[in-house]
Amino acid sequence: MLEKNVILNGKTVLVTGAAGFIGSNLVRELFNSFDGIRIVGIDNMNDYYDVSIKQYRLEEISALGRDWTFVKGDIADKELVEKLFSEYGFDVVVNLAAQAGVRYSITNPDVYIQSNIIGFYNILEACRNHPVEHLVYASSSSVYGSNKKIPYSTDDKVDNPVSLYAATKKSNELLAHSYSKLYDIPSTGLRFFTVYGPAGRPDMAYFGFTDKLVKGETIKIFNYGNCKRDFTYIDDIVEGVKRVMQCAPEKKTGEDGLPVPPYRIYNIGNNSPENLLDFVSILSQELVAAGVLAPDFDFEAHKQLVPMQPGDVPVTYADTSALERDFGFKPSTPLREGLRRFAEWYYSFYIAK
């Protein structure tokens, strides 16, 4: 177990992508866990998916009545990033802003370079010019690409991305490592595995499936249902991020008199891949139980098995042993329980209104 060396009580924290799924949940958890914490959130509020969900998440944060500042802006705007760092003097930075989505990166590559590469570079430059206690940033399970060995370990080579999105996330890790080495910036990258839950991203399979089923449309299940995904519930992701934030890699000097990069990488996943067909079956049962779908809904008539899509991989499976060793924590929310909470939220947000 690592010793906590970053005290978050009374600190000023920057969370980028604060209106996003993980970002908004993290902000609320930090306010609920620490006294006197001041959080600045930034998000460009783009319309990649329904902006009303982002606004809903921000309203949930504002309702807490804590020391919260939201800035609508883009981390690709270097002047804005520099201004925020100068004004607030952040102690800890959590970079969750990114253009997400594997398939979208095939048709809209420009936004990935802007947000995921230039935006992250701006954050690194700001951390260089305004030293922070800890930079925590989102990577992704997609960096494992076409790796055949499972479960995926952070010790594995990750040189075979199968999408631009994956390549940008691998680039983030490389950039962070070089800045940690050159400027002694303590940084930790987190490879998230298929995050799901209430008020999640509508482009994710479970959300998109639900939207289609509600409309009576057919859902497409890729790779003829033979995909496996390490579905990780949002609360488990946030708990992992919160623990990591408090344990910055220690600064050390190497034999050459230069800094040893204070740099770490962890997987945060459920360590339990689920077959996509089983996943869809559980989802449909919970949607019926929550009143989203009618009790006699003919699920079999609304599904279609189709081939694998470009950029997809057949399985994701996280080796979380390093996370368990260093933080005594392992995601553990059962899939059915997580999908039940999503179905109940979906009913209240879309159906009951």
Strands (E) across 114-164 are located at 134-140
Dist CA 38 CA 53 (whole Å): 24
Dist CA 220 CA 280 (whole Å): 11
Residue 152 DSSP class = B
- Give DSSP secondary structure letters for 223-253: GGGT-EE--EEHHHHHHHHHHHHT-PPPPEE
In sequence order, what are the beta bridge partners of 152? 318
Nearest to 267 by CA among 306, 315, 321: 321
Q: Is 179 designated active site?
A: no
C-beta of residue 150 within 8 angstroms of C-beta of residue 156: no
* Active-site entry in 165, 206, 263, 317: 165
* Bridging pattern class, strands 134-140 and 219-221: unpaired
Joined tokens for residue 311: 């950029």
Q: Which residues are catalytic?
A: 165
